[in-house]
Chain A
């Protein structure tokens, strides 16, 4: 093994920038198995900047970013990990020193984002704001799309990302162009269905068999599971890349970490979703199972049931339906760019 693959010219150039982040997404990405990180950087991409593992220091790093910007405008993939402090809080995230001045994450993202071929927000912080932007958002932080308003940011949320969600998205970009995205710009490939719809414990939900404490092998709904409102393929894919487990299999609730409202909209983590209101019916959470079972029996699709449960999703669902055709057309126009 070694780094002796084809010359970098022939491989897509990737820059991975860290803003206000815990590095959890890159560390999770290191868990990818096929290919592993070393094979990936050797054979598949030219990862010129890696804020975590990069070997070069200080001015050299700035030079690498500058020269990529100058030499390959429109031809590099920019991955941003982390949320971005704005306004008077800009200095809460400083990337380094450029032209003898502090170069903030906000400046870096603007400069690098403007000329990137494709832009990926890796992790929930970059995609939606995430934990550091949670109330009261002490650093006035915003997700990447809020800064790069004119660009399409592909959101690959998750706290952290499952390594295969990100590897899959990058690979899709390289091989086939932009993947089909949902209304939140997440690749449908990985975020197309709710956790609830794919959950192995769905039968327990339908039968009303609920865990009373973490560590029990039943449905986690009453313990606060956000599976009904969370779009991700954790139940079928599982974690990490040996696919050995996932939070519900570990007898704990899903906390909705791929959702735009994470974590504020998902907390308290151990309290169940609001009571369900349907026209003429009001249900307590502990009755939900029975009713959902009935709806299924009546032929109401589980997807719809889940959306009704959430309220929020019902709204999303409608908006999505109304605008999906227009959006898809728009995306095709703007994004079907290839290297």
Chain B
């Protein structure tokens, strides 16, 4: 029996820490730690609710646009307004471009490098050498595609900048709609880049992922867990937002049901916070930092849906849509991510055609003094929710539950593991000194430790960080 600790664990958008116990070449115990805490929601308190879209984008550099979007949805919900048709399409296009950026960067720069033989240079120094199965020729080809992907994902960020002013942290996503009118030159520039990216996704990335899935087909049997999935819905089909292109649902043991936000509770038993009597709904939870707490190992709380750990991300979304139900494993997660990039790229082409140059892009509105709003969207790595409460025209309470809080959560009050921990159990580890399999399983979830730094309300002193609903 051997304990392996990986910290810093890189390529997780900032780094995190993982501890596994290996016996007879298999993982028998696993715990995942978020090692960063920022207290973002406390910072939001008392601020102008219009600022939330720009400020919450700063939670995450790789998925900033979805935080801006969730914050905008929440304020629109509170103010009782809808964006114009153009506004919804433009926001979808900015988000879509950011998804392409994320998925391409994730697949090649975060994920693929765990399977390739790499030149021992620069950031590639120190890579594991075991279980590299590609022929030299295939390896060289994939390495070249990896470098190409940097150029392609860069263009996806240029698309975000075209409609959003810059990337990351675009300015073009606001409550009420979007800010750059769909003028012919802008639309053409966007379209041309989109076509290049779509070409890459269809003709290079998908085939590359096929090759990976074929050569590493055993990873269809690794990283398995129960089919418990959660998504809130992604990309409103129109400005009324009665349907989304990727619908939301909770999947319990493979069966779909409508999402009930009321059954989401946050557990604290294994997080560095003092415990409450029982698990709390996110809008009620109190948080008191306790770094010395026995048994705790993460800054991430453990959100549970009806008591169950839920997984989000491309695989969950495609499962719910009915596009992909082959299985729930490491390779399924990677394949679904690539497929989703293709589906989003196709959708974006159809949205571009629907833009109307001289029609409004933003609905002006009065910020209500007293109101509540919820903003829900799919994010690159799973379900994202922003809960907003306003008093005297300022933010009285803001709560964010990120996808990585779901995926990378620690154990809950009943001792149930988080989804990544579940998936790690049973993972074969051939060489304990080079546990390459661990990283492959974790990264397929597209873990983001920036996003996981969840919601905390520490007060003024360390002994008694108070905190509030």
- The answer to whether A239 touches B165, judged by C-beta atoms less than 8 angstroms apart, is yes
- The answer to whether A139 touches B37, judged by C-beta atoms less than 8 angstroms apart, is yes
- The answer to whether A89 touches B51, judged by C-beta atoms less than 8 angstroms apart, is no
Q: Which of B121, B125, B171, B291 contacts A250 (CB 8 A)?
A: B171
Q: Contact size class for B?
A: 35 or more
The answer to whether the Cβ of A96 comes within 8 Å of any Cβ in the partner chain is yes
B4-32 interface (Cβ within 8 A of A):
5-11, 13-15, 17
Given A38-B147, A96-B8, A214-B174: A55 and B125 interface contact (C-beta under 8 Å): yes
**Within 8 Å CB of A131, what residues of B?**
43, 55, 58
Which A residue sits closest to B167, measured CB to CB? A240
Most central of A31, A56, A159, A247 by chain B CB within 10 Å? A31
- The answer to whether A139 touches B38, judged by C-beta atoms less than 8 angstroms apart, is yes
The answer to whether the Cβ of B73 comes within 8 Å of any Cβ in the partner chain is no
Which A residue sits closest to B51, measured CB to CB? A269
A114-142 interface (Cβ within 8 A of B):
130-132, 134-136, 138-139
Task: Map CB proximity to A onto B411-429 as digits: 1 under 8 Å, 0 otherwise.
Answer: 0000000000000000000
A184→B161 CA distance, assembly (Å): 28
Tally of contact residues, A, Cβ under 8 A? 87
**Within 8 Å CB of B9, what residues of A?**
57-58
The answer to whether the Cβ of B92 comes within 8 Å of any Cβ in the partner chain is no
A226-277 interface (Cβ within 8 A of B):
239-242, 244-252, 255, 257, 263, 267-271
The answer to whether the Cβ of B380 comes within 8 Å of any Cβ in the partner chain is no
**Within 8 Å CB of A28, what residues of B?**
61, 157, 167-168
- The answer to whether A136 touches B61, judged by C-beta atoms less than 8 angstroms apart, is no
Which A residue sits closest to B363, measured CB to CB? A213
- The answer to whether B36 touches A20, judged by C-beta atoms less than 8 angstroms apart, is yes
A130→B43 CA distance, assembly (Å): 11
- The answer to whether A91 touches B291, judged by C-beta atoms less than 8 angstroms apart, is yes
- The answer to whether A93 touches B43, judged by C-beta atoms less than 8 angstroms apart, is no
A268→B150 CA distance, assembly (Å): 36
- The answer to whether B364 touches A94, judged by C-beta atoms less than 8 angstroms apart, is no
Which A residue sits closest to B149, measured CB to CB? A38
The answer to whether the Cβ of B362 comes within 8 Å of any Cβ in the partner chain is yes
Which A residue sits closest to B448, measured CB to CB? A23
- The answer to whether B121 touches A23, judged by C-beta atoms less than 8 angstroms apart, is no
A16-36 interface (Cβ within 8 A of B):
18, 20-28, 30-33, 36
- The answer to whether A2 touches B51, judged by C-beta atoms less than 8 angstroms apart, is no
The answer to whether the Cβ of B103 comes within 8 Å of any Cβ in the partner chain is no
Task: Map CB proximity to A onto B335-365 as digits: 1 under 8 Å, 0 otherwise.
Answer: 0000000000000000000000000011010
- The answer to whether B58 touches A214, judged by C-beta atoms less than 8 angstroms apart, is no
B436-468 interface (Cβ within 8 A of A):
439, 450, 453, 456, 458, 460, 462
- The answer to whether B122 touches A160, judged by C-beta atoms less than 8 angstroms apart, is no
Interfacial residues, chain A to chain B (CB-CB below 8 A): 1-4, 8, 18, 20-28, 30-33, 36-38, 41-42, 45-58, 60-61, 63-64, 85, 88-89, 91-97, 130-132, 134-136, 138-139, 159-160, 212-215, 239-242, 244-252, 255, 257, 263, 267-271
- Ordered nearest first, which 6 A-B pairs have the shortest CB separation? A24-B61, A138-B39, A56-B126, A250-B165, A268-B48, A239-B166
Interfacial residues, chain B to chain A (CB-CB below 8 A): 5-11, 13-15, 17, 35-40, 42-43, 47-48, 50-51, 54-55, 58-62, 64, 105, 109-110, 113, 118-119, 121-128, 140, 143-144, 147, 150-151, 153-154, 157-158, 161-172, 174, 176-181, 189, 291, 299, 361-362, 364, 439, 450, 453, 456, 458, 460, 462
CB-defined A-B contacts under 8 Å, sample of 17: A23-B61, A24-B58, A45-B122, A50-B10, A52-B11, A55-B118, A57-B8, A61-B8, A63-B126, A85-B37, A95-B7, A95-B15, A139-B39, A213-B362, A241-B154, A263-B51, A269-B51
